[in-house]
Amino acid sequence: MRELDTAKISEAVASLCIEANHRLEESTKECISRRACQEDWAPAKAVLDIIEENIAIAEEGEFPLCQDTGMACVFIDLGQEVHLTGGLLEDAVNEGVRRGYTEGYLRKSIVADPLRRTNTGDNTPADLVVRMVAGDRVKITVAPKGFGSENMSQIRMLPPSAGQKGVEDFVVSVCEKAGANPCPPIVVGVGIGGNFNKSALLAKRALLTPLDQANPDSYYADMEERLLERINGLGIGPQGFGGRTTALKVSILCAPTHIAGLPVAVNINCHVSRHAEAVL
Amino acid sequence: MEYILKEPFSKEALREFRAGDQVRITGTIYTARDAAHKRITEMIAKGEEPPFEIEGSIIYYVGPTPAKPGNPIGSAGPTTSYRMDAYAPKLLDLGQLMMIGKGQRSPEVAEAALRNGAVYAAAIGGAAAVMARCVKSAEVIAFPDLGAEAVRRIYVEDLPVTIVLDTHGGNLYEEGRAAYLAQVKEEAK
């Protein structure tokens, strides 16, 4: 059994919070650059150029990519052969978020109660999802999630008879209704199957997929392509000013479901599609 | 078209702008988002003085990140505007000149802007570092307990915005998309 002090997890989470808020993953940057080159509608091109300028400024480390530095969504793949010492995992993750958001001058956007709305002051608690996996490593992914796009997300419990077309129509309708609100160009995470909660989690996890990576199942890879084409055919464009580039990517994850159900969740992310990972 | 808007701000200057025009703003504006709008409109309803003169004001919907030492402000991009829709018509009727945010507005806000000769402009969501560099000074003038949501008086230079709702009834979110789709249709012929 490998021992790992949870203080190491706090340290890693703190630095990942800061990194994710200043630097986009390579595949995301490449995708935005490529779309900027392909965009021939002038207002759309102008927006994408400013987005690229913003990415370059944020990488200098002085200003985060977006003022909404998000709710800290933390995904941990915990190897079964790791024995954590030094305190609770959840406490360690929250300590990391507290330190990252304070020392990194990131915005504290979490309120302690959804209706009474007092800010917790340190961006905790994190949204922590732990998955037990084989091995003796701990993989930590921090994905700060802004709420301009989160608020445009939807879930629908479709009847199985809705089938593939019903799923695709729903995904496109969510993106059309979102319009300019979620800061397009967007990244679309789709969770199909499972149950009510599982589909939502799949949709969120789908947003971690690198933008140059298709679903390994060609049936779903084709669906991702088809959906991207339909969404970009809406003409909403960057920031909703019109244009070809409404979405950068559609990523689908699915899971077994019940004979009576076809849950579909659509989690929208903005072009500042942030995630950073470390393996301990 | 591209325009420059400088202090003193007036409704006359706004009449030139059409939906889709790019405007660079230089001067003193105010920040306020959800919680600040709620408090300001409550103060007005109770007959109290709001933290700044609403008449003639430009309000930027933003909750910036904390300023690092040596900077007036942190990252400062727009937040989604529809959450201010419940409060905006009241402020427009009191003479607010411009709202800066991003995303669609309600018909009530569009009507209130039109009848008052005010405009709604979009800053680029997620280009917060670019926008931060346009802010030359910032001072919290009300509700410091709200943290990022406190009301700030900020001085901006060349803050880039795009006119969405103009004083002539134009709406960029409708017209921009329609114009692009018309061009796509034309090319397909």
Give the active site residue among B5, B21, B33, B37. B37
Give the burial class of B12: count Cβ atoms within 10 A of its Cβ; 0-12 exposed, 13-18 middle, 19 or more buried: exposed
Question: Mean per-residue pLDDT for A164-181?
Answer: 98
Q: What pLDDT is attached to residue A93? A: 98
At A224-272, the pLDDT tens digits run 999 999 999 999 999 999 999 999 999 999 999 999 999 999 999 999 9
Is the pLDDT at B162 greater than 90? The verdict is: yes
* Domains of chain B: total: 1
User: How far does Cα A19 stand from its chain's mean position?
Assistant: 15
Q: Is the peptide bond before A144 cis (omega within 30 degrees of 0)?
A: no
At A240-251, the pLDDT tens digits run 999 999 999 999
Tokens of B183: 């061009």
Is the pLDDT at B188 greater than 90? The verdict is: no
Q: What pLDDT is attached to residue A15? A: 98
pLDDT band at A62 (very low <50, low <70, confident <90, very high): very high
Q: What pLDDT is attached to residue A254? A: 98
Question: Mean per-residue pLDDT for B54-75?
Answer: 97
CA distance B4 to A144: 35
Could you count the other beta carbons within 10 Å of the beta carbon of residue A111? 13
- Identify from B34, B65, B145 which residue to disrupt to test chain A contact, counting A C-beta atoms within 10 A and taking the largest count: B65
CA distance A38 to A27: 16
Q: Which domain holds residue B125?
A: 2-188
In chain A, where the domains are located? 2-20+64-145, 148-272
- What is the total residue count of chain A? 280
CB atoms B125 and A41 under 8 Å: no
Whether residue B37 lies in the annotated active site: yes
The residues that bridge with A69 in the sheet, in sequence order, are none
Tokens of B118: 């005010």
- Residue from the list A41, A108, A272 with its beta carbon closest to the beta carbon of B180: A41
Is the pLDDT at B41 greater than 90? The verdict is: yes
Q: What pLDDT is attached to residue B189? A: 86
Q: State whether residue B144 sits within 8 Å of chain A by CB.
A: no
Rg (CA), chain B: 17
Report the percentage of chain B scoring pLDDT > 90.
97
Q: What pLDDT is attached to residue A89? A: 98
Q: What pLDDT is attached to residue B22? A: 95
Question: Mean per-residue pLDDT for A84-111?
Answer: 97
- Residue from the list A44, A53, A67 with its beta carbon closest to the beta carbon of B75: A67
Question: Mean per-residue pLDDT for B80-93?
Answer: 97
Q: State whether residue B77 sits within 8 Å of chain A by CB.
A: yes
Question: Mean per-residue pLDDT for B36-46?
Answer: 97
Question: Mean per-residue pLDDT for B114-142?
Answer: 96
Residue B146's domain is classified under what CATH number?
Answer: 3.20.130.10
- Of the CA atoms within 13 Å of residue B54, those in its CB half-sphere come to 20
Are residues A186 and A149 in contact, defined by beta-carbon separation less than 8 angstroms? Answer: yes
What's the mean pLDDT when you consider all of chain B? Answer: 96
Is the pLDDT at A213 greater than 90? The verdict is: yes
CA distance A166 to A187: 20
Query: Residue B116 is inside which H or E element, if any?
Result: helix B107-116
Q: What pLDDT is attached to residue B152? A: 98
Q: What pLDDT is attached to residue A40? A: 87
Question: Mean per-residue pLDDT for A90-98?
Answer: 98
Report the percentage of chain A scoring pLDDT > 70.
100
- Give the residue on B whose Cα is nearest the Cα of A148: B80
Q: State whether residue B63 sits within 8 Å of chain A by CB.
A: yes
The residues that bridge with A251 in the sheet, in sequence order, are A189
Q: Which of B2, B124, B160, B79 is nearest to A237 (CA)?
A: B124
- Residue from the list A121, A148, A234 with its beta carbon closest to the beta carbon of B125: A148
CB atoms A180 and B148 under 8 Å: no
Question: Mean per-residue pLDDT for A29-38?
Answer: 94
Question: Mean per-residue pLDDT for B37-66?
Answer: 97
Could you give the C-alpha distances from A156 to A46, A168, A199, A220, A247, in angstroms and in order?
35, 12, 9, 19, 21
Q: State whether residue B126 sits within 8 Å of chain A by CB.
A: yes
Is the pLDDT at A35 greater than 90? The verdict is: yes
Question: Mean per-residue pLDDT for A10-21?
Answer: 98
What's the mean pLDDT when you consider all of chain A? Answer: 97
Q: What pLDDT is attached to residue A147? A: 96
Question: Mean per-residue pLDDT for A97-110?
Answer: 97
